[in-house]
Structures are given as C-alpha cells and as structure tokens.
C-alpha cells in the first residue's frame, strides 16, 4: 500500500492499566470519545492506528481520514505452498506415532490432518 501521498500525524498513546491517553498531533483526544484503539504495523509501512469512537451522540470527528477496504487474502496459495513442502514419509511417521491416533475408520487421516494443523501453527 502506498502511503506517500497521505498526511501523517504524530500519535502518542500512553496506556496505564485499564486507561489510556490518546494524543494526535499533540492534542489530547477526549477519553470519553474513544471506546477502543488498535495499532498495527507491517515491515516497511507506517504504523496504522485505528480509533473506535464511543457510541455517544455528542462525539464529533473533524479532519482528514484514510479509509481502507481490504479483502481477506485467499488462503489457497499459502496452503498450497505449505502442503508442497510436506515430506510425505515424515507426515506418515509422525501421524502413526501420535498418542491420540485412534483405531476406527479414518483415524490415520484424522491424525494426519491434526499433525498438519499443528505444523501449520508451529506446534
């Protein structure tokens, strides 16, 4: 995402237990106006701060805002790359050695899917 033409603001969030003070450009935001906030940052990108305004009739917002609409990424390519990297012999060995391997129909398939899920999560 290119942010080169967007204005940036200095944001300071000071969290103290269950409360936080939010400042934008040196001005404190009324704490009653903000019900939540989140901060995220991707490598090489500026930080993205989202303020969730409280559901109050007297809350007003004035200024510029960037609105981003994102589609959820297609998991297919990542899943395909993950599965292509799996050693079938190692998967079979690990699945057969699982303590939760059952004896009923499809037990080996279930053990393999469980093992793949654990590997995908880094377990």
> Is residue 65 domain-shared with residue 93, that is, in the same domain?
no
Question: Quick check: 23 and 31 in contact, CB under 8 A?
Answer: no
Domain assignment of residue 84, given as a range: 75-121
> Is residue 61 domain-shared with residue 86, that is, in the same domain?
no
> Is residue 20 domain-shared with residue 80, that is, in the same domain?
no
> Is residue 64 domain-shared with residue 94, that is, in the same domain?
no
Rounded to whole angstroms, how far apart are CA atoms 115 and 9? 46
pTM of the model as a whole: 0.44
In total, how many domains does the chain have? 2
Under 8 Å CB-to-CB from 83, ≥6 apart: which residues? 116
> Is residue 36 domain-shared with residue 65, that is, in the same domain?
yes
> Is residue 4 domain-shared with residue 42, that is, in the same domain?
yes
Query: What's the pLDDT band for 80 if we cut at 50, 70, 90?
Result: very high
> Is residue 59 domain-shared with residue 21, that is, in the same domain?
yes
pLDDT exceeds 50 at position 1: no
pLDDT confidence of residue 54: 75
């Amino acid at each position: 995402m290119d942010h080169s033409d967007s204005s940036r603001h200095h944001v300071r969030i000071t969290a103290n237990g269950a409360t936080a003070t939010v400042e934008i450009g040196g001005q404190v935001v009324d704490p009653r106006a903000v019900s939540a906030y989140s901060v995220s940052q991707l490598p090489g990108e500026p930080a993205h701060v989202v303020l969730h305004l409280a559901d109050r009739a007297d809350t007003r917002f004035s200024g510029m805002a960037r609105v981003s609409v994102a589609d959820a990424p297609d998991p297919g390519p990542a899943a395909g790359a993950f599965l292509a990297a799996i050693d079938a012999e190692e998967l079979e060995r690990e699945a057969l050695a699982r303590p939760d391997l059952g004896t009923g129909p499809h037990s080996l398939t279930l053990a393999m899917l469980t093992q793949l899920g654990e590997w995908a999560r880094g377990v």
